A and B are shown apart, each in its own frame.
Chain A
Amino acid sequence: MVENARSINIAASILLAIGILYIVGPLYLTLSTASQSYEYMLRNGLAWVPGTELFANMGKVIHDTRIPIQMLNSMIVAFSNALATCILSFLSAYAIVYFRIRWAGVAFALILATIMLPLDIRVITTYQVASNIFSPLNAVLDFTGLNSLIEMMFGAPIQLELSVLDTHFGLIAPLVAHGTGTFLFRQFFLTLPKDLFKAARMDGAGPLRFLIDILLPLARTSFASLFVLTFLSGWTQYLWPLVGASTPDMQTAVVGLARLVPDADGQVPDFPMIMAGAVLVSLVPLTMIALLQRFLVQGLVLSEK
Chain B
Amino acid sequence: MSSESSLFSHRWLPALLLAPLLLLIVLFFYVPVFQAFYWSFFLEQPFGGGSEFVGLQNFQRVLSDAEFWAATGRTVIFMLTASALAVVVPLMLAIAADRKIGMSYPARNILVWPKGIAGASIGVVFAFIFNPFVGLMGPLNALFPGLWNPGIDGTDAFITLVAAHVWSGIPFNFVILLAGLRSIPPTMYQAAAMDGAGPWRRIFDVQLPLIMPQLFLTFVLEFTESITSVFALIDTITGGGPGGSTTLLVYKIYVDGFRGFDLSGASTQTAILMVFVLLLAACQFYFLGRRINYER
Contact = CB atoms under 8 A, between A and B. Distances in A.
A296 interface: yes
A26 interface: yes
A33 to B, nearest CB: 7
B186 to A, nearest CB: 8
Given A24-B110, A107-B18, A121-B250, A1 B189 contact: yes
Given A46-B129, A114-B25, A239-B231, A301 B170 contact: no
B270 A122 contact: yes
B113 A257 contact: no
Dominant SS among interface residues on chain B: helix
Interface string B1-29: 10101111110011101101110111111
A55 interface: no
Nearest to A261: B124
B267 A124 contact: yes
B35 interface: yes
* Most A Cβ at <10 Å: residue of B21, B119, B266: B21
A198 to B, nearest CB: 7
Interface in B203-232: 217, 221, 224-225, 227-229, 231-232
Nearest to B174: A19
Interface in A111-141: 111, 113-114, 116-118, 120-130, 133, 136
Given A114-B29, A122-B33, A254-B118, A289 B124 contact: no
A259 B221 CA distance: 29
Interface stretch (B58-66, B89-97, B286-294): B89-97
Given A23-B170, A202-B3, A268-B133, A236 B116 contact: yes
Contacts of A15: 92-93, 96
B224 A116 contact: yes
A194 interface: yes
Interface residues of B, number: 111
A158 interface: no
A216 B189 CA distance: 40
A198 B6 contact: yes
A258 B124 contact: yes
A173 interface: yes
A161 to B, nearest CB: 10
A9 interface: yes
A92 B115 CA distance: 27
A257 B128 contact: no
A236 B286 CA distance: 33
Nearest to A231: B116
A118 B131 CA distance: 31
A8 B229 contact: no
B167 A1 contact: no
Nearest to B95: A12
Interface stretch (A57-65, A145-153, A280-288): A280-288
- The number of chain A residues touching the other chain, given as a range, is 35 or more
Contacts of B199: 3, 5, 8
A96 B103 CA distance: 44
Interface string A1-32: 10101011101110111011011101101100
B51 to A, nearest CB: 12
Contacts of B243: none
**Best-buried of B24, B119, B121 by chain A (most CB within 10 Å):** B121
A201 B3 contact: yes
Most buried by B among A12, A27, A255, A268: A12
Contacts of B126: 26
Nearest to A122: B32
A257 B36 contact: no
A122 B10 contact: no
A95 B18 contact: yes
B125 A300 contact: no
Interface string B98-119: 0101111011011111111111
Contact of A98 (B7, B97, B112): B7
B3 A13 contact: no
Contact of A100 (B8, B186, B257): B8
B255 to A, nearest CB: 11
A9 B236 contact: no
Contact of A88 (B7, B21, B35, B102): B21
A111 B25 contact: yes
A177 interface: yes
A273 to B, nearest CB: 11
A165 interface: no
Interface string B66-98: 000000000000000000000001001101110
26 contacts: A3-B193, A12-B97, A13-B101, A13-B102, A16-B93, A16-B97, A19-B89, A26-B125, A29-B136, A45-B133, A99-B14, A100-B9, A116-B278, A117-B277, A122-B274, A236-B121, A254-B118, A257-B120, A278-B124, A282-B121, A285-B117, A289-B113, A296-B112, A297-B112, A300-B172, A301-B175
Interface of B: 1, 3, 5-10, 13-15, 17-18, 20-22, 24-33, 35-36, 39, 89, 92-93, 95-97, 99, 101-104, 106-107, 109-129, 131, 133-136, 138-139, 151, 167, 170-172, 175-176, 179, 186, 189-190, 193, 198-200, 217, 221, 224-225, 227-229, 231-232, 235-236, 239, 250, 253-254, 257-258, 263, 266-267, 270, 273-274, 277-278, 281
